[in-house]
Structure 1
Amino acid sequence: MDGLRIRVRGQVQGVGFRPFIWQLARRFGITGDVLNDPEGVLIHACGPDLDAFVAAIASDAPPLARVDAVETAPHIFDAKPSTFEITASQGSGAETRVTPDAATCPDCLADIRGSDPRRSGYAFTNCTHCGPRFTILHGLPYDRAKTTMGVFGMCDDCAAEYADPADRRFHAQPVACAVCGPQLCLDHGEDVVARAAERLLAGEILAIKGLGGFHLCCDATNAEAIATLRTRKHRPTKPLALMGRWEEIEAHASPSPEERTALSSSAAPIVLLSHQGTLPDALAPGQDRLGWMLPYTPLHHLLLDTVRCPLVMTSGNLSGEPQVIGNDEAVEKLGGFADGILCHNRDIARRLDDSVMQVTKYGPMILRRARGMVPDTLRLPPGFEEAPQVVAFGAHLKSAICLVKNGQALLSHHLGDLDDPLTWDEFVKADADYAALFDHHPEVFACDLHPGYRSSQHAAARAGDALVEVQHHHAHLASCLAENDWPLDGGPVAGIILDGLGLGSDGTIWGGEVLLGDYAGFTRAAHLQPAPLPGGDMASREPWRNLLARLDQAGLSVVADTMLADAPRDVLRQAIAKGVNAPLSSSAGRLFDAFAALLGFSGAQSFEGEAAMQLEAMALRAGSAVGSPYPFAETDGVIDPAPMWDAALADLHKGTGKEKMALRFHAGLAQAFATTAKQLLEDDHAKAVALSGGCFQNALLLEMTIKALGDAPILLHTKVPANDGGLALGQALIAAALDSGDR
């Protein structure tokens, strides 16, 4: 009997794809079978309307599915099948993708708010359209026995739902109910959610177990509770994430349609929204935006329905350490922060922070790629079809790993800063975890050029002679090219790469660059005038040090003496003169710090980017009246900020508002780099302009740079972080391109 063998590739396991195919077969009168295997979903089908059946596979796919390809080939049946069956998974290995964790769907939310005693108020309700996936997974194929739900035997009712292809819980691996599934615990006793809500409203701090780890939680309207949390966690100013229902969000923000779409997506990320309500300033001192997320588990929904106020939901960890995921670990590490621990007995297989994003005028921007967004993949651009298996290890801060296999790039979740020993342990575990989970056997290894990065040292230890060292800002450029599907032979691009620090190919520290290049190589077309970093790493923590260096460099030492009268200027100047712990750097990030210090930011930053974030917030308060951008000079590819300092000091002398000064600084920096990049286009050296690096998380700088570029073709980050969290993708594509060139 003639029929079709249909291969479906993509995000098609753990999303209800087989019951969808079963229902589709009934609709079109198709007989045959469907199963999961290491490559995705495999269908054998015969019937009168096969063309329409195949077309509907992609067009009508389930909500969490992502179909990359539907491939057909003739298939001969020994005898015509009389029914359409869902058969058992076959094979081992991993050629397909795992579905990210997904926020509670409307149907399950109705269940927990309904009257069915099995699911009413049950904090672990889920179906094939929502619930935990990656955070509970031990191995592929994605079956219950290979998840942390394997220890929970299904009751008869859950087993019946699980076995019924017409039920939305068919083969939902985490399926459970109050009779047979995981249970909550809060210092023992009943009515856990009601008691937790009562304690939060009384001003207590609770540690609450989520999908990828614990949060520290308190009432976001209670300034005293927020102050207590900050004191206990030693987190004086870093913004705290908030969780609320639409009622709470709309009382304190006015999200745009695009921001609403981001908030309500299945990833349920933290989204930065303009602060318009009356919540305590202590939630984000010096900032005009707050990070909001909707409740994304049934427990969160039940808790928010009860407290009816916004809650702080910040990562449950010791400062600098990874998020806590285990119950015993929570008692040990969070007991000193929290007045109580709301936990449960479903284990977390891997820790995932909440994803963070913002929406700019030019689309979404991912700031931290984690829960709900991983392990999704990106298709490699044209020309990389024969790319070998590659693993790239990213940077030292905001670390992430990237795997290339079968024409796809898998960028790992945010792993953190590798200075912390426990984060380093997690990095090493993640390397082994991803390799095992996705059956990855790299032929090429890539890392940052900096030999002091722990990620680079790890790569060297694994790679032998298959190591490719990639310059930091070249990797940023390639990351932006990759996510914009720029072909391998697409030609050179002008990359404006602005960030904190990265080792340059000349041995100095770069960070304010215009590169001309592609995946295979680059030249440094222009850069910010280098300045010393007095005290080395201390210059990244104390902005006044950068102000001293920049003012001195601009011939304004007398001004520096007045503005920094209490600082140890002479000691630092001597160190700079002798070249002791004062490396030269073209860092745009440190220029932001210096200007923030000029406008009054004093002391040390309590978290990375604090001064620059305050400068952006200050500029946004100036409105749209920029006036003239501060001038920068450019000579032979060196962009000199000296004229900017003269103009800014004149503004200070005239009493110009600091908000307007901050705005003019942003505009001047954007104009200076855009002018250089546009010239490369006009001279026909470049075909487009790519914007990358952590400074472009600054939505105002992004907007002003795009405006200054005029009608130039522009490549932006929307799926991958512009910061070092996206660096591994660029490293991997550069390594693959070089390998292609070798062949």
Structure 2
Amino acid sequence: MRIRRNLRISGIVQGVGFRPFIYRLALKHCLGGYVRNTPSCVEIAVEGLPEGLEAFCRDLTDSAPILACLQEVVSEDAPPLGEENFSILASHGSGEAAAVIPADIGLCPDCAAEILSQQNRRYFYPFTNCTNCGPRFTIIKNLPYDRAHTTMAGFAMCDACRQEYENPLDRRFHAEPTACPACGPVVWLEIGGRRRSRECLTRAAEMLWNGKIIAIKSLGGFHLACDARQEPVVQLLRQRKGRRDKPFAVMVRDLAAAEAICELNRFEKSWLRSPASPIVLARQRANPGIAASLAPGNRYLGLMLPYTPLHLLLFQHSPDALVMTSGNRSEEPLAFTNDEARRTLGELADAFLFHNRDIHVPCDDSVVRPLHDGSTIILRRARGYVPDTIQLPLPCREDLLGVGAQDKTTFGLAWRRTALLSQHLGNLDLVETIDYYRCAIDHFQTLSRRRPTVAAHDLHPGYVSTSYAKGLDNVRLIAVQHHHAHIAACLAENGRLERCLGLAFDGAGYGPDGTIWGGEILAADLADYTRVGHFAPVVLPGGDAAAQNPNFMALSYLFAVYGEAALSQAARLGLRFSPLQERLLLRQITTGWHSPVTTSAGRLFDAVAAALDICRERTYEGQPALELEMVAEGQDWGYYPLKIGHHHNQLVIDTIALFRQVVEDRQRGVVPAVISARFHESLARGCVAACLTLRGRLRLNLVALSGGVWQNARLFLRTKELLTKAGFEVIFHRQTPANDGGIALGQIAVAAAVLDREQ
């Protein structure tokens, strides 16, 4: 007896070869019916003998394509219609959108082999792709994911490509960006406004060998590239880009070239070869043979492998290690159109490697830091991961928008149990970034066909994202405290609803008491929080000015320790201030004039880095803390006793006394490497001591780690180790950054919990 079953599959099931997989599976089990894309899911109808249907459903989940992610499978029995043939139907464009758009995928081995084979018709073709690789998110304009809705719509397929595209047994079946030299996009080199199409990659490589800088159009935007082994051109790129110290990423020819530069463990190799192809931070070798100015003050280097055919072909002629940094001036938005690149990068690059496949959505490279215990710190979530969704631990009763923070901004949309986070957009300090932020929200709403009725925003009234939310019409606003959002994001992506101890450590967040928070211990769930502990408060002289100048924070901590003798102690440490700075800083510290109180963990790291003369001039965000971590050596240098006091029923971790012990060690001649190691160990032990006290008081055993400070691998690993040994369950970020790039997810989770509580 024949039976029939209708299935609806949601998740990452469009643009990843899922329909041809279903087609082959139906033929294998002698089933009739159809499969098609819709805006919300993939619809399947299968009809045949019971044993065939059971085997089909089993293989559906057990053998899905590697890039597919089945989030939900809804199955319903239906009356048989007598269908014996199986077909792939055209996409159905109506209905509620919920389908997950696939992320851009790095070049697959099959396509790479074809590109390098002289016998293949795509030999040396820089836009080769299939259902297993190539652009997705960055070229899509609307759903469903069909060629007509992408920037490839203007390229009519030749007969050979059309035959592959329409053959369900071909790996290019409905690979929407598919093309070949006869019908697809082209690449050219532009020097001084003159276009060169023939042998453009060879000429570009010659320029790189000769110490030139080239702007290269990639998947999600432009890169600025130069030879990573030539110190003069790396310095020149820094000068032109206005990026004095922040590390540059390096793309290498292959894994062998990566291993020649960095010490790679199995985790780092796996990330480098993964379909997402992110920038992977790995420890440099003692003599890596590359420019010293690539990553000043940093033992690690950001590496990536060629993830597009264009990159692969360029490396057939170019040096084997190229700086591959974002195509923009420092802190400006990423250039992603040809005209924009000509306008904004003309003074930075000596030539342009252009192509005519338009980028509809700019998307920077993702950055990850694999750790030796198998965990991974996600520093930036963008290409390769966006727009993968995150499943929420509770349903959204209304469609939600989380507008994010001010720095490292992302936003998020959410409906039911699905959260869709944007790519990294940068800091909302420039008009150009703000304009793109608004456009990106509109684009995500178009793709998801959602118009949120609730917007969650940060408490800080000065954030551009907060102003954006308050300017929306007919939308309910829910304000979310910054550090509560950090902890809520950690809870949400780990699928947890229960109350926890949240260690929220970062640079700054608006506290409801009017102070600047940043070293916080919260007792929190998704709906609510209580501040139960924090770092010792100090003055933030000049407000944001102190965040830009580590020396100001060092003096503030010195004043908290030594009072009026702070300036003489500063002089002993080699800290110098002009007479005007001395008078102004002392007035600010003693009176609080334009100087709020802060408990910021980030500013503590700044003060220690300045006191030890590790970093006294900050040229990019997080530089003092990063260089302080890089200086630390060894594991057995002891620690400083860290006292925990009480104030208004809250624990106070005495970070002022910790700073005093750092200074005293330095004045005794202890080297900074040892002091830094002791400082990190002391903070880790202090966190555990505080959690032990609070566990006894609050009966909470779950600890969540969130906030940008937890990107410090030394502090993160040691704290996690000690907490685990003490019997705590520790959760941390695995899908989103611990920094402000995860705030939007936390805002969504809090808003969903607030709405749920109101029912």
Contact 2:187 2:197 in 1 (8 A): no
1:275 is aligned to 284
1:66 is aligned to 69
Whole-Å separation in 2 of the counterparts to 1:514 and 1:85:
57
Contact 2:453 2:475 in 1 (8 A): no
Whole-Å separation in 1 of the counterparts to 2:416 and 2:628:
44
1:462 is aligned to 472
Contact 1:631 1:647 in 2 (8 A): no
Matches within 5 A, 1:123-138: 123-138=126-141
Whole-Å separation in 2 of the counterparts to 1:569 and 1:553:
16
2:206 is aligned to 198
Offset of residue 447 of structure 1: 0.3
Offset of residue 573 of structure 1: 0.7
Identify if the C-alpha distance between structure 1 residues 169 and 633 changes in structure 2 by more than 3 Å, giving closer, same or farther: same
Kindly provide the amino acid, as one letter, of the partner of residue 350 in structure 1.
V
- Give 3-state SS (helix, strand or coil) of 1:526's partner: strand
Offset of residue 578 of structure 1: 2.8
Gaps of 5+ in 1: none
Matches within 5 A, 1:391-470: 391-462=401-472, 464=474, 466-470=476-480
1:163 is aligned to 166
Matches within 5 A, 1:519-598: 519-555=526-562, 557=566, 558-563=568-573, 564-567=575-578, 568-598=581-611
Identify if the C-alpha distance between structure 1 residues 253 and 602 changes in structure 2 by more than 3 Å, giving closer, same or farther: closer
1:40 aligns with 2:41: yes
Equivalent residue in structure 2 for 1:183, among 162, 186, 207: 186
Identify if the C-alpha distance between structure 1 residues 243 and 565 changes in structure 2 by more than 3 Å, giving closer, same or farther: closer
- Give 3-state SS (helix, strand or coil) of 1:72's partner: strand
- Give 3-state SS (helix, strand or coil) of 1:380's partner: strand
Whole-Å separation in 1 of the counterparts to 2:720 and 2:645:
20
- Give 3-state SS (helix, strand or coil) of 1:683's partner: helix
Whole-Å separation in 2 of the counterparts to 1:408 and 1:415:
21
Equivalent residue in structure 2 for 1:643, among 657, 669, 672: 657
Equivalent residue in structure 2 for 1:494, among 496, 501, 506: 501
Contact 2:377 2:737 in 1 (8 A): yes
Whole-Å separation in 1 of the counterparts to 2:443 and 2:44:
30
Kindly provide the amino acid, as one letter, of the partner of residue 93 in structure 2.
G
Matches within 5 A, 1:44-123: 44-48=45-49, 49-78=52-81, 80-92=82-94, 93-116=96-119, 118-123=121-126
Whole-Å separation in 2 of the counterparts to 1:194 and 1:591:
50
Whole-Å separation in 1 of the counterparts to 2:699 and 2:475:
34
- Give 3-state SS (helix, strand or coil) of 1:305's partner: coil
Whole-Å separation in 2 of the counterparts to 1:517 and 1:14:
39
TM-score by length of structure 2 reads 0.95
- What count of residue pairs does the alignment treat as equivalent? 735
2:673 is aligned to 659
1:600 aligns with 2:609: no
1:150-185, Cα deviation, whole Å (9 max, x unpaired): 000001100000011110000000000011000001
Offset of residue 386 of structure 1: 5.0
Whole-Å separation in 2 of the counterparts to 1:214 and 1:252:
25
Contact 1:495 1:677 in 2 (8 A): no
Contact 1:629 1:671 in 2 (8 A): no
1:14-38, Cα deviation, whole Å (9 max, x unpaired): 1111111010111111111111112
Whole-Å separation in 2 of the counterparts to 1:602 and 1:169:
52
Offset of residue 669 of structure 1: 1.6
Mean Cα displacement is larger for which, 688-697 or 88-97?
Answer: 88-97
Offset of residue 308 of structure 1: 4.5
1:335 is aligned to 346
Equivalent residue in structure 1 for 2:331, among 320, 333, 343: 320
Whole-Å separation in 2 of the counterparts to 1:462 and 1:642:
43
- Give 3-state SS (helix, strand or coil) of 2:127's partner: coil
Identify if the C-alpha distance between structure 1 residues 630 and 425 changes in structure 2 by more than 3 Å, giving closer, same or farther: farther
Contact 1:681 1:688 in 2 (8 A): no
Contact 1:496 1:677 in 2 (8 A): no
Give % identity.
43
1:473 is aligned to 483
1:10 is aligned to 11
Contact 2:639 2:679 in 1 (8 A): no
Kindly provide the amino acid, as one letter, of the partner of residue 213 in structure 2.
I
Kindly provide the amino acid, as one letter, of the partner of residue 299 in structure 2.
D
Whole-Å separation in 2 of the counterparts to 1:417 and 1:460:
19
Offset of residue 571 of structure 1: 1.8
Whole-Å separation in 2 of the counterparts to 1:447 and 1:233:
33
Equivalent residue in structure 2 for 1:146, among 120, 145, 149: 149
Contact 2:205 2:319 in 1 (8 A): no
1:459-496, Cα deviation, whole Å (9 max, x unpaired): 11115561000000000010000011103xx2x10001
- Give 3-state SS (helix, strand or coil) of 2:316's partner: helix
Contact 1:543 1:601 in 2 (8 A): no
Whole-Å separation in 2 of the counterparts to 1:6 and 1:342:
46
1:645-701, Cα deviation, whole Å (9 max, x unpaired): 332233223211110101111111222122112222233431300000000000111
Mean Cα displacement is larger for which, 362-371 or 420-429?
Answer: 362-371
Offset of residue 354 of structure 1: 0.2
1:701 is aligned to 715
Whole-Å separation in 1 of the counterparts to 2:600 and 2:616:
20
Kindly provide the amino acid, as one letter, of the partner of residue 547 in structure 2.
S
Whole-Å separation in 1 of the counterparts to 2:451 and 2:355:
36
1:301 is aligned to 312
Gaps of 5+ in 2: 191-195
Whole-Å separation in 1 of the counterparts to 2:354 and 2:414:
37
Contact 1:552 1:560 in 2 (8 A): no
Whole-Å separation in 1 of the counterparts to 2:106 and 2:203:
24
Kindly provide the amino acid, as one letter, of the partner of residue 675 in structure 1.
A
1:217 aligns with 2:229: no
- Give 3-state SS (helix, strand or coil) of 1:329's partner: helix
1:253 aligns with 2:267: no
Whole-Å separation in 2 of the counterparts to 1:69 and 1:280:
49
Kindly provide the amino acid, as one letter, of the partner of residue 204 in structure 1.
K
2:369 is aligned to 358
TM-score by length of structure 1 reads 0.97
Identify if the C-alpha distance between structure 1 residues 591 and 362 changes in structure 2 by more than 3 Å, giving closer, same or farther: farther
